[in-house]
């Protein structure tokens, strides 16, 4: 059997990883500012994290959601505390798409409606409703297509107001990334997020903050939507939550009430996943990583804005987009193969920085030096 060939691959095999460093099978060291697509939040093979998962594995790795799992309760309490949403409720699942599926389904159960508002350049995942709310027709299969989703221009207050005036009574949910990731690091303005909150309240629609990529402290706040000073009704999270262990969840406002059987999953919230997620939150808290994301992010953004040829620097904390002109389209490839630095990308010609939240000035300067060389 061979692999189903859906990923264009770099010809690199990683065999070892530690912190923000990875090594290939020839012993070549790389600086990882991509974090395996924003997943590595507390550093590769973080020793505390490895030990917590290992210890758990020796006790019990998995049992289904038909029994009490105190680790889930511990995780909910910790997440409530670290995220500053202690009165919210946690439902655990396995991936970002699944988190958004559950968020959208829950919204529809809540208000009995079908229509969803999403935004241009959004990415919410590849399954059923998640892909239907993703603004990329190339990955929407005919069976996923639905008339229930409207795509409005991102950060356009007037279009949002007009749409609610027309269809407000039918809208179940508004789903938005506080900082669009796949779309190229576009920051939702505070005014726009505040308008979503106001209109959702006015029309009894559910505000879903997709925090799968921009959440978990990456922006310098636990949820990037927190910058706007308003609460969403549901936050979806995944990537940074398990530092590579597949775990995801939705944090749900008290006004949304659970019912037996309403949501469910086999693997979600298993013992190992909870141990991984707890280790991540403990390290984020102990090492003050949200503050570090803000500090190093501010430094990088300030320095990047001084560089020539760059069209635009966007983002917050350690979620940074560097928009380049077309003639510099090889910079990302050169950073990887010449300078041995992994970065992410978005179309067209945007370099995305999504490193572990504990990088320091040394790593930031290593990147800036390499990028300066490429811009010359």
Binding site for ligand PLP (CB under 6 A): 95-97, 100, 123-125, 177, 181-182, 210, 212-213, 238
Pick between residue 107 and residue 364 the one whose CB is nearest to ligand PLP.
107
Instruction: Tell me whether residue 124 or residue 339 sits nearer to ligand PLP (CB atom).
Output: 124
What CA–CA distances, in Å, run from 101 to 125, 133, 134, 374? 9, 10, 12, 41
| Distance set, CA 133 to CA 150, 170, 192, 222 (Å) | 8, 16, 18, 24
Nearer to ligand PLP, 97 or 205 (CB): 97
Q: How far is the CB of 112 from ligand PLP (least distance, A)?
A: 25
Instruction: Please name the helix (run of DSSP H) or strand (run of DSSP E) that holds residue 303, with its range, or none.
Output: helix 289-305
Q: 182 vs 335, which CB is nearer to ligand PLP?
A: 182
Which residues neighbour 354 within 8 Å (Cβ) at sequence distance 6 or greater? 33, 34, 35, 37, 38, 181, 213, 218, 318, 319, 344
Nearest residue to ligand PLP, by Cβ distance, number only: 96
**Minimum distance of ligand PLP from residue 29's CB (angstroms):** 26
Residues 6+ apart with CB under 8 A from 295: none
For ligand PLP, give the closer residue by CB, 131 or 370.
Answer: 131
Comparison of 212 and 232: residue with beta carbon closer to ligand PLP? 212
> In the complex, what is the shortest distance from the CB of residue 97 to ligand PLP, in angstroms, rounded to a whole number?
3
Nearest distance, CB of residue 306 and ligand PLP, angstroms: 29
CB burial of 198-232 (b: ≥16 within 10 Å; e: otherwise) equals ebbeebebbbbbbbbbbbbbbbbbbbbbbbbebbb
Least distance in angstroms from the C-beta of 248 to ligand PLP: 6
CB of 369 to ligand PLP, least distance (A): 29
The span from the CA of 92 to the CA of 236, in Å, is: 10
Nearest in space to 193 (alpha carbons), one of 181, 209, 170: 209
Least CB distance from residue 135 to ligand PLP, whole Å? 12
What is the DSSP-derived secondary structure letter of residue 126?
S
Three-class secondary structure of residue 80 per DSSP: helix
Question: Closer CB to ligand PLP, residue 96 or residue 317?
Answer: 96
């Amino acid at each position: 059997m061979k692999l189903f060939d859906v990923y264009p691959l770099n010809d690199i095999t990683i065999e070892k990883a530690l912190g923000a460093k990875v090594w290939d099978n020839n012993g070549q060291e790389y600086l990882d500012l991509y974090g395996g697509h924003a997943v590595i939040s507390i550093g590769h093979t973080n020793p505390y994290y490895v030990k917590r998962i290992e210890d758990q594995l020796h006790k019990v790795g998995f049992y289904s959601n038909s029994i009490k799992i105190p680790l889930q309760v511990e995780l909910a309490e910790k997440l409530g505390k670290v995220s500053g949403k202690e009165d919210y409720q946690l439902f655990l699942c396995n991936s970002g798409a699944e988190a958004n599926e559950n968020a959208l389904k829950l919204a529809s159960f809540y208000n009995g409606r079908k229509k969803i508002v999403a935004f241009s350049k959004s990415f919410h995942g590849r399954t059923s409703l998640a892909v239907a709310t993703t603004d990329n027709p190339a990955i929407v299969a005919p069976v996923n297509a639905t008339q229930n989703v409207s795509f409005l221009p991102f950060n356009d207050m007037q279009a949002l107001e007009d749409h609610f005036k027309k269809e407000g009574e039918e809208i179940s949910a508004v789903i938005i990334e506080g900082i669009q990731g796949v779309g190229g690091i576009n920051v939702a303005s505070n005014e726009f997020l505040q308008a979503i909150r106001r209109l959702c309240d006015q029309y009894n629609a559910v505000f879903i903050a997709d925090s799968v990529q921009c959440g978990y402290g990456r922006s310098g706040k636990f949820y990037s939507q927190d910058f706007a000073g308003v609460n969403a009704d549901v936050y979806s999270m995944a990537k940074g939550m398990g530092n590579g262990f597949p775990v995801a969840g939705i944090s749900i406002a008290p006004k949304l009430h659970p019912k037996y059987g309403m949501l469910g999953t086999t693997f979600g919230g298993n013992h190992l996943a909870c141990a991984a997620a707890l280790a991540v939150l403990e390290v984020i808290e102990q090492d003050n990583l949200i503050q570090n994301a803000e500090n190093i992010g501010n430094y990088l953004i300030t320095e990047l804005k001084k560089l020539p040829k760059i069209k635009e620097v966007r983002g917050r904390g350690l979620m940074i987009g560097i928009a380049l002109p077309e003639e510099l389209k090889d910079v990302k490839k050169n950073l990887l193969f010449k300078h041995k630095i992994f970065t992410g990308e978005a179309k067209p010609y945007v370099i995305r920085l999504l490193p572990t939240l504990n990088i320091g000035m040394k790593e930031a300067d290593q990147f800036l030096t390499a990028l300066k060389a490429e811009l010359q």
